A and B are shown apart, each in its own frame.
Chain A
Amino acid sequence: MTKETNSVLNFKELFRSLETAYIVFDANDPVFTVIEENEAHARIAMVERDSVIGKPVLEAFPDTSEEYLTKGVSRLLESFRKVIKTGQPDTMPDLSYDLKDHSGKMTTKFWEVTHYPVFEDGKVIAICQQTSDITEKTLARRELTIAQDQLERALDYSEVGTWMWNLDEDKVLADKNLVKLFGIGDGSKQMEVPLSELTKRVHPDDAGRVKESITKALTKKSSSYESEYRTYDNEGNIRWLLARGHVEVDKTGKPVRFPGLVVDITKRKIAEKSLHILAKANTQFSASLGYRQTLDAIASMIVPDVADWCSIDILENGKIEQVAIAHKDPEKVKWAKELRAKQGPVSIDAENGSALVIRTGKIEHTPVVTDEMLVAAAKNKKELKLLRDLDIHSVITVPLKIDGITIGVITFISTESHRHYDANDVEIAQGLANRAALAVYNANLFQDAKTEIDERKKLQDRLEKFNSVLEDRVKKRTLQLEKTNKGLQNEIERRHKLESQRVQHYIDLNKTKDDFISLASHQLRTPATGVKQYVGMILEGMAGEISEMQRSYLQKAYESNERQLTIVSDLLKVAQVDAGKVRIRPKMIDLSELLTDVIKEQQDTYAARKQDVRFVAPSFKAIAYADPDKMRMVLENMIDNASKYSDPGKAIRVSITNHDEAITVSIKDNGVGVAPEDIEKLFEKFNRIHNHLSDHVGGTGLGLYWAKKVVDLHGGTIKVTSTLGKGSTFSVCLPKNSDIAKTTVKIGE
């Protein structure tokens, strides 16, 4: 190996091991064969050195660009030719290759290549390409570009404006949006202006505040800046902006740049204001206000933030009455009121906006009021001048509805603010109108309620008065009643006492009566009994013979005594039966025996009266369930009656008939008889039927009364059939046994 050969070899090795990628092409070869490639290049090109060296360039690295594939133009070969021709290096900033990696996957690579000429004898014999892999850098830049595009579009869309204030030169770079928001251009392109160009567009009321905020940020009291203020846009509308920025300083701390952005917050501001009004309406509108006062308050709140003018008109009796008009300038309000007063109330049929909205109940929205509209609306030149002077830009008229019925309108008018109402404003206006309608409704309700409450209070007062009068009366009456009650109670007590005294008196009296009966029976009877016995002894011959005259007189004495005894007996018997002191001791008795005995005992008496008193004995055994002593007295009494009330010589027949459960004793006479109407009287106490014999008989009128009571006690009955003057039949019906005795038996059963 020669010295020279060695130096070439050394160079080649150095070349191959360089970190920077190189490849060398033959400049004399039309297809630019690859002469040499170092390892670094092979690595980034993802090829084997051996497979590349000796191959034409486009064979080693096929051009996949669209340009080459469609037009056959290779930017790489062009660069080679340019280098050969000019002898100057040429750089291709972004050469893109689609390469297969070792795994065979296609991948796009971005390279920055520079072609250097290699001279020999003043001629370019080779081209050395220096290659840098800028794939990552390129992709990152592409992404950044996309992000920037997106940001720009987003800013455009959101109407966010950006600025960059270069303090050294006092130039502010304002983007399109900012230009538009500040009304310094048409917004088609960004502009560079001095700061004063921008600050003079700020609303006079806010200018001082903005300046103060900027100064504060610059003097490092606060390097960040934030401010809300109003500007006039290029259409003259007021815009509410929120600005935010940051002061950048150099190494010495001196402010050099002041970038920032602004956001249009007009809608938010108005919405906020409306919300505030609505909230205030909710809390502060006292229902106790009349609705006119309520509406006045609403109109005052609406200006100037929501509208420059606010008018509220209410339909009253077919006329539209302006109940509220508001503007920030009281002089203008006064002027408007006078103007309206001159015009007088507007008819519901009028052609103007308010009447139309009231009629239709639909919102009228005029975003931009043109001069043609004013001309059309004005009735005369004077009015047109007036309207023109007002400088109306936009109008919204919304209905006030209660229960779906339009009762009036609120009109929002934009004048000096130059605003043009959009859909958003209509929405806000509608919200305020709803609120106002509700306030009217509440105020009316309150008035109604108040009226009703007043009425009720009056009524209640009257009722209370009436009640107190009533109460007094009731008290008086109650007192009277109490007195009366007390009197009544005393009276009742007195009567109760009297009554119990009386009862006691009767009890005592009864006792006295019983005692009397007891005394009478004993004391009256005993002497008469003595008379009876002694006279009886004489009459019966126990004292020897007596003359006829003596017998006659004694007989009369005896009979008188008998009558006295009978009277006493009858009185006692009735007293006993009335007092319920009579009890019977019934048993089975033979009526035939009893009757035979009774008649036999009195036979002498009947004989004296020449009467044929006869018992017609039955063929059957006549057994009855009766008290023998009492029944004897009953039958004696009845047969005696038949005899007494029959004239001498008349016949009396006593017979017995048998029935299923009862047995009847009949006493038939041919005596004086009883009239039908007198039959019931026969059984009454002390009641005597008068006839030609009654005086002679001289009874007490108690015999049949007692007999009936006694027969009743037996469960039997007494029946009378009679013909006056011809005679009577008395029948006593008695039960046959004890079971039947428990019920009352009647004749014929």
Chain B
Amino acid sequence: MKNKPTVLIIEDDVALNEAYVTILKTAYENVFTAFNGEEALQVAEQHNPDVIFLDLRMPVMDGIGFLESYQPKEKHPDVHIVVFSNYDMQAEVDKAYDLGAERYVLKALATPSSLLKIVNDLS
């Protein structure tokens, strides 16, 4: 783990995406964003993130689709993936865990400071 972790935010809601970037940029330099899974795969390929905040419900490619292609267990064992979603249907969350997600955080509960703390804890 680098001293300054690279964080990837995958969030389709523009306002939230901007909010998270703003919050994380107060503490970390390398913060990248993507608005769907497909885009995220390209960004991840380019920037090799250390921590990924992954929304589940997204257009084009959703969070599960991203995990299936990204294959964190097999190909990116060192990347911390935090499922960051308001969509808390158990089945879908379970599937994300199975595919290699490390934590699940309900977006509605996260505060700006808790967001920073998560990255800090994982780094």
Contacts and interface: CB of A to CB of B under 8 A. Distances in A.
Contacts of B94: 583, 585
A540 interface: yes
B111 A529 contact: no
A540 B112 CA distance: 8
B122 interface: no
B16 to A, nearest CB: 5
Contacts, number: 71
Contact of B20 (A533, A542, A569, A576): A533
A68 interface: no
Interface residues of A, number: 26
Interface in A567-604: 568-569, 572, 576, 581-583, 585
A581 B90 contact: yes
B19 A518 contact: no
Interface stretch (A57-65, A228-236, A240-248, A519-527): A519-527
Contact of A542 (B26, B57, B88, B110): B26
B103 to A, nearest CB: 9
Interface string A503-525: 00000000000000110011001
Q: Tell me whether chain A's interface is mostly helix, strand or loop, or mixed.
A: helix
Interface in B98-123: 104, 106-113
A322 B16 CA distance: 138
A630 B97 CA distance: 15
Contact of A533 (B23, B88, B89, B97): B23
A51 to B, nearest CB: 166
A534 B111 CA distance: 9
B116 to A, nearest CB: 9
Contact of A526 (B13, B22, B97): B13
A532 B22 CA distance: 14
Nearest to A558: B111
B89 A536 contact: no
Interface string A612-636: 0000000000000000010000000
A529 B16 contact: yes
A657 B98 CA distance: 34
A506 B20 CA distance: 41
Given A533-B112, A536-B111, A576 B86 contact: no
A518 B23 contact: no
Contact of B90 (A522, A532, A565, A583): A583
Contact of B108 (A529, A534, A540): A529
B13 A530 contact: yes
A154 B106 CA distance: 149
A629 B109 CA distance: 13
B88 A521 contact: yes
B91 interface: yes
Contacts of A582: 90
B1 interface: no
Nearest to A630: B90
A605 to B, nearest CB: 12
Contacts of B60: none
B111 A569 contact: no
B86 A532 contact: no
Contacts of B112: 533, 536-537, 540, 542
Nearest to B20: A533
B108 A532 contact: yes
A95 B32 CA distance: 187
Given A530-B13, A569-B108, A521 B19 contact: no
B89 A537 contact: no
A528 interface: yes
A148 B14 CA distance: 167
A79 B104 CA distance: 182
Given A526-B13, A542-B26, A533 B19 contact: yes
A522 B16 CA distance: 13
Contacts of A518: 87, 89
B22 A542 contact: yes
Interface in A73-132: none
B86 A525 contact: yes
Contacts of B97: 585
A532 B94 CA distance: 26
A517 B91 CA distance: 14
Contacts of A534: 15, 19
B18 to A, nearest CB: 9
Nearest to A568: B108
Nearest to B116: A540
Contacts of B19: 530, 533-534, 537
A249 B23 CA distance: 178
Interface in B7-41: 13, 15-16, 19-20, 22-23, 26
A526 B108 CA distance: 7
Contact of A576 (B13, B26, B89): B89
A529 B113 contact: no
Given A518-B89, A568-B108, A583-B94, A526 B23 contact: no
A679 B19 CA distance: 44
A530 B112 CA distance: 11
Contacts of A568: 108
Q: Which of B23, B26, B107 has the most CB of A within 10 A?
A: B107
A206 B123 CA distance: 161
B87 A565 contact: no
Contacts of B89: 517-518, 521, 576, 581
B20 A525 contact: no
A298 B57 CA distance: 123
Contacts of A525: 86, 107-108
12 contacts: A517-B89, A522-B57, A529-B16, A533-B23, A536-B113, A537-B22, A569-B106, A569-B108, A581-B89, A581-B91, A583-B90, A629-B104
Given A518-B89, A521-B87, A526-B16, 18 more contacts: A521-B89, A522-B86, A525-B108, A526-B86, A529-B86, A530-B13, A530-B16, A533-B112, A534-B19, A536-B111, A537-B19, A537-B23, A540-B112, A542-B23, A542-B26, A576-B88, A576-B89, A585-B97
Interface of A: 517-518, 521-522, 525-526, 528-530, 532-534, 536-537, 540, 542, 565, 568-569, 572, 576, 581-583, 585, 629
